[in-house]
Chain A
Amino acid sequence: AQSVTQPDIHITVSEGASLELRCNYSYGATPYLFWYVQSPGQGLQLLLKYFSGDTLVQGIKGFEAEFKRSQSSFNLRKPSVHWSDAAEYFCAANAGNMLTFGGGTRLMVKP
């Protein structure tokens, strides 16, 4: 079955530190991949997306993600985290007409 897995439920980083959120997918073929962010009580905002081509994609708010076909991964990174980055992050994949989401990673930022 098609699935998206985010192994880390919670991550805490210090402000200014680097960040990497993990995402693995299980699909018959490479799906289209997305990262969304959700602040408490809010909807989902698209950070970045990968369709094809360059495996390192840049997004909004200083985020980037790297697609690795050999590892079926699409990890999200940020070189220096800001307190305002504290939120829930969702990796998602689309191979048809629906998005399949991972369970999410809650990011907490220490001052």
Chain B
Amino acid sequence: ETGVTQSPTHLIKTRGQQVTLRCSSQSGHNTVSWYQQALGQGPQFIFQYYREEENGRGNFPPRFSGLQFPNYSSELNVNALELDDSALYLCASSYSTGVNTEAFFGQGTRLTVV
């Protein structure tokens, strides 16, 4: 295990609803990144948070937003859910934002939008 924990593990939401996913980073890590992994595809970068500030964003609409707290845990919020938002959402923490920094992944949250 990596020490990165995500909650909940599974959830089902209705189209148009809002959802919040949570991530507790590994001890000593100040950087959290979020990825979306659709079925049968590789993970895609949503955004990264470093010391409570957004530090880069992938090609996702503004209805995907996030927060990082003083203890470096993080939330991913998705508004106005669409069917295509159904995916495994992965959180990864690291001790810095450097390109050679190893990212440690959580087990993911499986979101199903119906």
User: In the complex, which residues of chain A have a beta carbon less than 8 angstroms from the beta carbon of B110?
Assistant: 41
Binding stretch for chain B, among A14-22, A76-84, A97-105: A97-105
Q: Which residues of A contact B42 (CB under 8 A)?
A: 4, 90, 92, 101-104
The reply to whether A98 and B106 contact each other, CB–CB distance below 8 Å, is: no
CB closest chain-A residue, reference B104: A46
Q: Give Cα distance in the complex from A104 to B41, angstroms.
A: 7
CB within 8 Å for A97 and B48 given contacts A44-B43, A90-B43, A104-B41: yes
Q: How far is the CB of A96 from chain B (nearest CB, A)?
A: 6
Q: Contacts of A103 on B, CB cut-off 8 Å?
A: 41-42
Closest to B91 in A: A43
Interface check A75, CB cutoff 8 A = no
B98 to chain A, nearest CB (A): 8
Could you tell me the distance in whole angstroms from the C-beta of B1 to the nearest C-beta in chain A? 9
Q: Which residues of A contact B (CB under 8 A)?
A: 4, 31-32, 36, 41-46, 49, 51, 90, 92, 94-104
